[in-house]
Structure 1
Amino acid sequence: MRITRHLLASALPPAKSSSPFTRPAALALLPPIPLYRRLLRAHRKHLPGELRLLGDEYVKAEFRAHRDVENPAHLIGFLTEWQLYAQKIEGDAWVGEKLDQGKLEKMSDEQLGQLYELMRAIQKRGGGEELGSS
């Protein structure tokens, strides 16, 4: 995952504008290594033991799998989603939250399969309620 200054600058919020038609300032993206560390710290602080282990394994696998991504749009999307996830974990906003239908529709078959495998792993580890019913 090679991140350049140009790529980070494109993700930083634009300069203040007096025009009411500009979109709201975007979230400044963390580079991959600090974001990775933040995720593991958030898991350690906010997740119960079994979920922490599962979450840590998943984060590590995802960051390894995306280590050599060169596509800037893909990289920005990857970092943005993980940063939003970290904010949710840190704020306990994830408890009981369902996946956004729009995000599900944008997922590839491979991503949907991976999501299903994650759901099954959570169920096997005693993640509580039945996740497949909704």
Structure 2
Amino acid sequence: MYSSVTAPVDVLLVEDDPADTLLMQEALATRPGRHRLHVVRDGVEAMDFLLCGGSYSSAPRPALILLDLNLPHMDGYAVLAELKADEHLRSIPVIVLTSSKAETDVVRSYASHASAYITKPVESERFTEIMRKIDTFYLSVVKLPRAG
């Protein structure tokens, strides 16, 4: 049986490419009211958001994280390591969204406890389709842990 989310879910997007960010925002905008998308551009900002540091003192705990691996200042692997080492944050599902097709990146991401690994497609229509599938799966099928 499928359960659907009744209240909007906070989703954290960690992405430094403005074009990819825009594609994700547009794809998710077709499903209004299901989520609140928060965007940070690097790993340091992501950890500030997750730990409510700096300008993110009132940031919500996201129910889902979409994480690029190739980030400035602190890469996605470092974010995954810190996130999964924190007992209050480790239960948040993390979907790695990256341009890398390298098997070593896939293996390393799963070894770092990523929930899923998706290679970003080049075609915008396929990218939108993937974002909609993530939205449907994580907001209609999967039971996410409560904030806290």
TM-score (norm 2): 0.25
Structure with the larger helix share: 1
Structure with the larger strand share: 2
TM-score (norm 1): 0.27
